[in-house]
Amino acid sequence: MKEAAEKKQVYNPYLPTYEYVPDGEPHVFGDRVYIYGSHDRFDGEMFCLNDYICYSADVKDLTEWKYEGVIFRKDQDPRNQNPSEDNSIPRIYDVKSRFGNGLNPPGIHALWAPDVVKGPDGRYYLYYCLDFLPEIGVAVCDTPAGSYEYLGLVRHKNGTVLGKGEDDLSQFDPGIFIDDDGEIYLYSGNAPMHKEHIGGKQGSQVMTLEPDMLTLKTEPRLLLPSIADSEGTGFEGHEFFEASSIRKIGNTYYFVYSSVLSHELCYAVSDKPDRDYKYGGTLIDIGDVGLNGRTAAEALNCLGNTHGGMECINGQWYVFYHRQSNRTQFSRQGCAEKIEIADDGSIRQVPVTSCGLNDGPLEGKGTYPACICCRLTGKDGAVFSGQKEMQLHFPYLTQDVPDKEPAAEKEMSGDTLPVQYVANIKDGTMTGYKSFAFYNLQKITLKLRGKAKGTIAVFTEDLTKPAGTLNVDIAADTWQDITGMVSVSNGPHDLYFRYEGEGALDFITFTLHADNQ
């Protein structure tokens, strides 16, 4: 008798763990969903150092993501072909003091968060900004994920490049949307995170474009409130910071953005695409801050920025976002969660999970990578993702070899690929996963390395009552299996591992043994 085929699954992060594609903007074109995002370099010294790549999946099968290749290189933009002496940047950022110099060759700017739309001529248009330069670039392609060619810069009717005009605000994180009537809306901008940074050419903006996809039809106008003008608006505490993304559901427009908290995606709603937005709520927070009253001091993962968008895929709405890794802001990975839109149009905040795009909980058997954890806290909780903040006091996600680009092409050639794991597990570390459908789970094997002596308690939702305990006593630079018996009732459950003891561990996989495996 043939054994049943193994059920395909997908988990967070949904792309291969060697791919660092944050700012994910999902779009369904035809029968596939495409992910357009920026592209971090693992262990890079700045955001988005790699070229744009794209992944896609069949809308009916989100378990298998196809690497579409590099779709646009940073050196295709003419502004990246000559060294620039212009070091002017928005006030909220101070690159020299915060991030250092020499991050790209002279004159080579990074490709930040993009968006893509199918234009009135049937071609696909990619809108992007080169890091701190104030303009919006546009590239075009005949297919959603082919080789995009540089088209030009968005400009005023008089030919002045948007962002260069005397009264223009700086452009940032463009979002593009074509309404049912054919009107083309372009959203852009960033705003201060802190009141001491108020001032300068910043703000949430909306404008419309001519059918050439480059020329402004209407001039930019302010859209969402910032901390400079939010009093009495309902946005207080969740004002616009960056990451404009727009969707239309029925007759309602949903504007998704990153708030001044940075680690959450919020939404606002209106019956018009370009005005009168009301604050809706938080969609997702990468530390589950705000969920059930949780504060930032109680975050379930390290904090940092997040950016993404909503999309309906095969009848189900999802929110796409990114998480932090490697004790830095510059090694971010794409994740996604199901969301539900209530009859009144509201959307409740959803928790970060390990199962993400999967059709329900993950199977409660088999081997899983430890890096799909949705909770990673030390004895003192979680802090901002940075070496200065975390030092070696907190656990973190990292990988075993340097970045390889383009990684997916390396895979095709048979090269060894990076593998991600949880590092620096010390006394009090909690690693958590949501969720699994357990049936007859009997024991668990953890693959660990390091120098440590103690115990790992296994929990489900009740963190006061262990379902089992594994004894740890290792001193090895190679991966070792540690196995223990557990008692978990059948059905869907979260899964948590808490280490108590001396030393430090790395954690790469766990195996759930069920049905007498």
Q: What mean pLDDT value characterizes the chain?
A: 92
CA–CA distances in Å: residue 205 to residues 21, 95, 277, 330, 429: 25, 24, 12, 26, 43
Tokens matching residue 517: 């495996």
Tokens matching residue 10: 């997908």
23 is catalytic: yes
242 is catalytic: yes
pLDDT for the residue numbered 6: 67
Q: Which of 19-33, 323-337, 409-423 has the lowest mean pLDDT?
A: 409-423
196 pLDDT band, cuts 50/70/90, is confident
Class of domain 364-514: mainly beta
pLDDT one-digit tens code per residue, 292-331: 999 999 999 999 999 999 999 999 999 999 999 999 999 9
pLDDT higher than 90, residue 516: no
pLDDT for the residue numbered 406: 64
Q: Where are the domains of the chain?
A: 25-362, 364-514
DSSP letter (8 states) at residue 451: E
Nearest to 255 by CA among 290, 279, 232: 279
| Cis-peptide into 56, omega within 30 deg | no
User: Which residues are CB-neighbours of 105 under 8 A, at least 6 positions away?
Assistant: none
What would the CATH number be for the domain defined by 25-362?
Answer: 2.115.10.20
Pairing of strands 362-363, 430-438: parallel
CB atoms within 10 A of CB 80: 22
pLDDT one-digit tens code per residue, 76-134: 999 997 554 444 433 333 343 333 333 566 568 999 999 999 999 999 999 999 998 99
User: Which residues are CB-neighbours of 32 under 8 A, at least 6 positions away?
Assistant: 56, 57, 58, 59, 144
Same topology, domains 25-362 and 364-514? Answer is no
Which residue out of 135, 242, 264, 288 is catalytically annotated?
A: 242
The Cα–Cα gap between 186 and 169 comes to 14
Which residue out of 19, 23, 68, 173 is catalytically annotated?
A: 23
pTM of this structure: 0.94
